[in-house]
Structure 1
């Protein structure tokens, strides 16, 4: 005896019932989704609909705006500070908005000696700093970080050289 199993054409009955149930309750589903996301669900659907109606970008290029879907954390205050983060990255940031302006480098360790590595291609960073920033703090590359020159002194020296104080 041989059983022949063949694939049916079209969707399964269970899938068709689920699709009909979702379509029938789409209003309630949208209302719950908006309540859970504080309106972001419908706003996202409207943004996608508006983007699909927009003309295609020139030369086939696709642009992504990563800030459109989220609120700004604050306004730019112009108060720029330098800090050494917990993961040993040395960054310049705007204290009003909290946004990072530059990754200046990082504190590295080699043979139990900690030193400052400037963000440059020579030190293994993907993108180098702007020329004016590199000129201002370039001689701090390789600066040993110890009791005589702690991280706080390095951060204040970089701030002073870049004119952030």
Structure 2
């Protein structure tokens, strides 16, 4: 449980005493750890013991599934437009929370805020698909101010893409 590394060969007397103390009080230590973690300490020890008894996956490899398991479906939930904290304008599936499209971002220049459409011309790696780009293309460069706040921009994009 405890490995103490020292420069001398063999264990030091203090190390042996500490090891004996820990071993003698292992029950109390486990009980305190379970109390602090609400039983998580013993549960993790049991899970480790079970995992050690399980045979490895095919050819000794472990396989991990990293998908969320939820498929993005445009007919099961609403697609919404939002402007995130870092000024990115995205279309997302409200059912799964997955982002469907990065539509652009709100940029600031010379004290003005404006909407920059996700396109190669605006410095994005990939542009939007034509069915998304065409309806909102004329909003590229739209100034965001009191006359056109961010909420009005998201409503307009949503209406033009038919998500409302």
Short-chain TM bin:
0.5 to 0.7
Which structure has the bigger radius of gyration? Answer: 2
Displaced runs of 4+ in structure 1, greater than 6 A? none
Distance verdict in 2 for CA 1:86–1:31, change over 3 Å: same
After TM superposition, the structure 1 = structure 2 runs for residues 1-165 of structure 1, keeping only pairs within 5 Å, are: 7-48=7-48, 53=54, 55-56=56-57, 63=64, 65=66, 78-95=77-94, 99-102=97-100, 104=102, 105-119=104-118, 123=122, 128=126, 131=129, 134-135=132-133, 139=137, 140-165=139-164
C-alpha RMSD over aligned residues? 4.1
Q: Which residue of 2 aligns with 1:3?
A: none
Q: TM-score scaled to structure 2, two decimals? A: 0.58
1:16 shift after superposition: 3.9
Distance verdict in 2 for CA 1:149–1:8, change over 3 Å: same
Q: Secondary structure of 2:91's match?
A: strand
Q: TM-score scaled to structure 1, two decimals? A: 0.57
* Gap regions ≥5 residues in structure 2: 1-6, 69-75
1:109 shift after superposition: 0.3
1:37 shift after superposition: 3.3
**Residue pair 1:89, 1:103 contacting (<8 A) in 2 also:** no
Distance in structure 2 (CA, Å) of the matches to 1:133 and 1:25: 68
